[in-house]
Amino acid sequence: MTSRPVLLVIAHGSRDPRHAATVHALVRRVRARRPGLRVETGFLDFNIPSVPGVLESLAAEGVRDVVALPLLLTRAFHAKADIPAVLRDAPARLRIRQAEVLGPSPLLTAALERRLYEAGLTPADKSSTGVVLASAGSTDPEAIAVIAEIAREWRHTGWCAVRPAFASASLPRTEDAVRALRALGCARVAVAPYVLAPGFLPDRIARGAAEADVLADVLGPAPEVARVLLERYDAARVPVPAALGA
């Protein structure tokens, strides 16, 4: 009998206990959606278990196949450098495939809207509401370009306007994007944090939303996020056929 690879969800980790609690809540939702799939969680920093520790334990149990899934919304430094470096040092007996990061995905956009509606908006408010798509920020140009593209595409679904903002490394800040949407003439302004879990930078986003009318919650264990995790897992566990003549 062929067993499914273990899904190892790799989170960044934080000194803020809300971060790990939210990651574990999301993993519980993933397990509930896919009974029988073994899902483990490892952290790069601050929290335990560490990613190397989980990999060592899996190898000691005799596990052979693992799909390592970065709990990240964009392909920035952690996905391109940190996580591959950790996985290269894993026990040799493990066959590890690194899944793609979660974003962009229409399901994540749906989760953003879910959070806005939970915060008090309705679909009828879209045409008069400007939205700040507030992400953590990155020094990676590819990651910044992805956030800008998500904002452009989301605008076409009926919102008055959608502007990207960043809590660190890039501009504009959340408060500046809120003011820009006010100046544009949007009747109300909402801030949608494009982050997975609470922590230092999400708190900065919240402070920047002080002049907004609506502040949505982080994506957290939204059902759409759990679905994206499983989509990325399924894509990674299926070997890509070799090109003819390769």
Average pLDDT score over residue span 7-23:
97
Average pLDDT score over residue span 105-110:
98
**pLDDT the model gives residue 3:** 81
Task: Give the confidence band of 81 by pLDDT, cuts at 50, 70, 90.
Answer: confident
Q: Closest Cα partner for 37 from 10, 68, 6, 67?
A: 6
Percent of the chain with pLDDT over 90: 91
pLDDT tens-digit profile of 146-159? Answer: 999 999 999 999 99
SS3 content of the chain, % helix, strand, coil (to 5): 45, 15, 40
Answer whether residue 246 shows pLDDT above 50.
no
How far is it, in rounded angstroms, from Cα 159 to Cα 187?
11
> 80-104 burial string, b = 16+ CB within 10 Å, else e?
eebbeebbeebeeebebbbbbbbbb
**pLDDT the model gives residue 239:** 66
Task: Give the confidence band of 244 by pLDDT, cuts at 50, 70, 90.
Answer: very low
Answer whether residue 242 shows pLDDT above 70.
no
**pLDDT the model gives residue 241:** 52
How far is it, in rounded angstroms, from Cα 154 to Cα 158?
8
pLDDT tens-digit profile of 194-218? Answer: 999 999 999 999 999 999 999 999 9
pTM of the model: 0.94
Instruction: For residue 28, give Cα distances in angstroms to 54, 68, 133, 179, 225.
Output: 17, 17, 27, 38, 12
Contact 48, 242 (CB under 8 A): no
**pLDDT the model gives residue 238:** 81
Contact 46, 13 (CB under 8 A): yes
**pLDDT the model gives residue 240:** 54
Task: Give the confidence band of 110 by pLDDT, cuts at 50, 70, 90.
Answer: very high
How does the average pLDDT of the chain come out, rounded? 94
Answer whether residue 19 shows pLDDT above 70.
yes
**pLDDT the model gives residue 245:** 40
**pLDDT the model gives residue 76:** 78
